[in-house]
Amino acid sequence: MRAPLLVVLWVLLGFEALGGLLIFFMRLAAGSTPGETLHIVLGAVLTLVYAIYQWQHWNRTAPFRSRMDYALGLIAALSMAITLGTGIALTLPWWAVRIAQKSADPVAYSTVVSAAHNIMSMLVLTFVGAHLAAVLMRDSAAKRR
C-alpha cells in the first residue's frame, strides 16, 4: 500500500479530483475555470503514471477471476480510461485557443465530451474506493478464518 508509484498515483488523483471540482463549481458560480492549466498538466502526468501502474498491477493480479474485488477493479479501470481519454480530448480545443492562438477567449468545449468527463470522473472515485473496500474486506475475512 506504500509503494512509491501508488502514493504518487493517489496524490495526483487527489489533486485532479479537487481541481476538477473547483472548475465545476466556479464555472457555475462565476463562469470562470480557475486552475484549468494545472488540471491539464497534472492530468497528463497522471495519465502516464496510471498507465505504468495499471500495467504492473495487471501483471501481478492476472488472470481475471469472477470475484467482487476483480469486477470492481475492472469497472474502476474502465472509468479511469474514459475519464483520462475524454480529458485528453478536452485538451485539444483548449490547446488550440490557449497555446496555438495565445488567446484568453472562452474555450468551446464539446458538451457531450465535457459531460462524459464530468460523470466518469465521479465514477472513478466511487469505483476505486469500492475496489479498495472489496480488497480490504476480502483480507479481513481471510484473517478471521
How far apart are the C-alpha atoms of 95 and 93, rounded to whole Å? 5
Taking the least distance from each CB to ligand HEM, the nearer of 102 and 111 is: 111
Is the distance from CB of 43 to CB of 16 less than 8 angstroms?
yes
Q: Can the peptide bond before residue 4 be classed as cis, meaning omega within 30 degrees of 0? A: no
Taking the least distance from each CB to ligand HEM, the nearer of 8 and 70 is: 70
For residue 27, the Cα-to-chain-centroid distance in whole angstroms is 20
- Binding stretches for ligand HEM (CB under 6 A): 1, 6, 13, 16-17, 20-21, 23-24, 27, 36, 39-40, 43-44, 46-47, 54, 57, 61, 64, 69-70, 73-74, 76-77, 80, 83-84, 87-88, 90-91, 94, 109, 114, 117-118, 121, 124, 128, 131-132, 135
